[in-house]
Structures are given as C-alpha cells and as structure tokens.
Amino acid sequence: MSYALDDATLSRLCAKALSAHASENRFVALALATHDPLADVARTVERIVFEESFGLDEAAMLAEYTPYEEQSYFFLVLDRETGLPAGAARAIEGGGKTLDDAPDLIGVPLSKIVDAHGMHDGGKIWDYATLAVLPRYRADRNGLTVSSMLYRMFINAGHRWDVRHVVCMLDSAAFRNLDMLGVRFVAMAGSAPFEYLGSPANRALYIPFKEIARSMGDQAELLSQPEVPDANGRRRPGARRITQRLAAQVSSGDGLDPHIDMPGFERRRNRRP
C-alpha cells in the first residue's frame, strides 16, 4: 500500500490499465477493490490533492486512512492523453471515517446520529470519504468531466452493492459543487460546520442513497426550464446549461457509463453483503 508512488510506477500502472480498457474517450473510469495495484494510483492522487489543499502528507494519510483500507473501494479516472491519473475518490463501507469522527466533532452520540437518519434499519451504509481532482484539471471543463465520472462511479457501485445510506464530511468547495448539481444532503443531526483535517468549514452530512441520482435528475429538469433573472436582473445561461448537462449525465449515466468499468466489483457481484 502506497500514497506516494514514484513517477515510473505511476506511469507503468496507468499505461497497463489504459491498454486493457480500450476506448476512444479521453477519460476512462475504473472502480477498484482495495488490493488492486491501481488502488495505489488512487491513493497517490488523494495524497497529492489533500497535501496541496489541507497539508495532509503521506504520513498523515497513512495515519488517517489505514484503519479503513480493508473496507475501502476506490474510483479512479485516467487520462488517455497524458497516460496518467486525473482524479480519484473513495467509499468506505459501514460508515467508515465519518461515523467514527463525526460524533465528537458535532457533539452528538453515534446512537443519536443513527436514530436521527433512520440508519438502524440494517441497510448498507457507505461513507463517501474522499474526492480528489488533480490541480491541472481544475482550470477548465475537463475538471467537471473528471468529477462527474467520479460521482457517477459512486452511484453505479452503490447500486451494485445495494447501498441504502450515505454519510460524508465535505469541505465547503465539495459541498458547493454537489449542491449545485442537486444533491440535497441534510446536516447530520442538525449540526453546524466545523474545522477538520485542515478544512476550516467542514460539514457532516447524510443522504439516502436512492435520493442522490433522483435529486440530480430533478435539478437537471429544473435547470432545463426558462431561466428567471436574479434580483439584479442577471442571467447566467452558459453556467446554467453546463450545470444542467452535468446533473443530467450524472443522474442518468448518459455519456458517462460507456466509459466506466468496475473490475473491482465484477468478480464479487454475486457475493452477499
């Protein structure tokens, strides 16, 4: 397990994966089990982004996430043009880091959090633990494509595993992006934002899994209607069209699913939770 692959190893693993997943699309998305060699590519992307954004170096990532490695699934987007990764995300089965850390951070016992959101029904809980898009992709629309593929992979994988509940802790930027796409999280047990792992305004959040795609679809439908000017009479048709398209794609998989593969899930499809 590594959060700091060297450049040669990173390039070799990505080249092998891209050759095994032929596609004319620039970006290829793979959902991976924790022991897949490509999972270390995803871990390295996590560390690069988290170190830049929050100061979490390799040692910090190992300390924070090693207890959850066996319960982790990774989502990795590769760029065919560069032969390198573009972004990565992680889900942790069982509520993971969020349900371990949130009670102390928001001052609410775990039992009350579970009761508040109906998570005592025995349904599978996933922690949407990380989302990381490398800096070079954030300056243009490619970053939106990468993050959209990561969101869609989470939805596809969650359907495959019959996930019922999703918890997460999001910094302000990640929360804003998902809210813009229509994902209607609720604050965990009514909590307020708090400082966490270098983020000054983190939120502990909950959403029923089935509501993620549905709420994005509702947002896409809403944004397809004629725009009403804001209080200053301004319209933003370009931004509105982009958001509508992304919400529609992520909710339906149109234009994304053909470029998503789940090698870490296929061989375990029939295994009972």
So where are the chain's domains?
Answer: 7-261
Number of neighbours of residue 54 by Cβ within 10 angstroms: 15
Residue 269, pLDDT above cutoff 50: no
How many residues can be counted in the chain?
273
Residue 272, pLDDT above cutoff 80: no
Tell whether the torsion through CA atoms of 272, 119, 215 and 179 is positive or negative. negative
Question: What residues pair up with 170 in beta bridges, in sequence order?
Answer: 203
Given this model, what pLDDT does residue 240 score? 86
pLDDT tens-place string over residues 111-134: 999 999 999 999 999 999 999 999
Architecture of domain 7-261: 3-Layer(aba) Sandwich (3.40)
Q: Residue 151 in contact with residue 213, Cβ under 8 Å?
A: no
What percentage of the chain reaches a pLDDT higher than 90? Answer: 83
Residue 1, pLDDT above cutoff 50: yes
pLDDT tens-place string over residues 152-209: 999 999 999 999 999 999 999 999 999 999 999 999 999 999 999 988 899 999 999 9
Tell whether the torsion through CA atoms of 5, 10, 44 and 17 is positive or negative. negative
Q: Tell me the two tokens of residue 11.
A: 């390039």
Number of neighbours of residue 251 by Cβ within 10 angstroms: 24
pTM of the entire structure? 0.91
Banded model confidence at residue 22, pLDDT cuts 50, 70, 90: confident
